């Protein structure tokens, strides 16, 4: 089995890095020594996940990482707690922005259905 690290981007936006151990005709993946990498601005944090199985329909991108190539981007690695707090603050700010957008649209007489109500249409 190959010993190169691979990166996989999932449909829900998560990024996983680990050693690819298995892949099948449906693009189902098995990773070993997996970490979930969270990026917020110029910071990142890695959360250890161990063995990770990914269903093929959730794979957006899969690629081999070149660990010898120098990185052009300067990113600061931070603790798991710090990156999770940064992520929470980023999501909170995004929700507030969405609320303001929805209110502006509502004030102009436009109505946008919420994502959880799309099944009704």
> CB of 21 within 8 A of CB of 30?
yes
Residue 43 has pLDDT above 50, yes or no: yes
Domains of the chain: 5-65+72-111 (2.30.30.100)
pLDDT of residue 113: 67
Lowest mean pLDDT among 20-24, 52-56, 97-101, 116-120: 116-120
Query: What CA–CA distance (Å, rounded) separates 28 from 26?
Result: 5
Average pLDDT, the chain: 87
Query: What CA–CA distance (Å, rounded) separates 87 from 38?
Result: 8
- Residue matched to tokens 């970490």: 35
Residue 78, classed as helix, strand or coil, is coil
Residue 119 has pLDDT above 70, yes or no: no
pTM score: 0.72
- Residue matched to tokens 């990185």: 71
Q: How confident is the model at residue 114 (pLDDT cuts 50, 70, 90)?
A: low
Per-residue pLDDT tens digits for 52-110: 999 999 999 999 998 777 777 788 888 889 989 999 999 999 999 999 998 888 888 88
- Mean pLDDT for 12-40 is 94
């Amino acid at each position: 089995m190959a010993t190169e690290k691979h990166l996989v981007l999932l449909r829900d936006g998560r990024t996983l890095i680990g050693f690819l151990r298995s892949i099948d005709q449906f693009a189902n993946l098995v990773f070993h020594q997996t970490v979930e990498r969270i990026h917020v601005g110029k910071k990142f944090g890695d959360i250890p996940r161990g063995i990770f199985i990914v269903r093929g329909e959730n794979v957006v991108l899969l690629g081999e990482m070149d660990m010898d190539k120098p990185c052009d981007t300067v990113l600061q690695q931070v603790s798991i707690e710090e990156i999770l707090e940064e992520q929470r603050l980023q999501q909170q700010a995004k929700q507030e922005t969405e609320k303001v957008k929805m209110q502006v649209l509502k004030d102009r007489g436009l109505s946008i259905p919420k994502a959880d109500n799309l099944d009704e249409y």
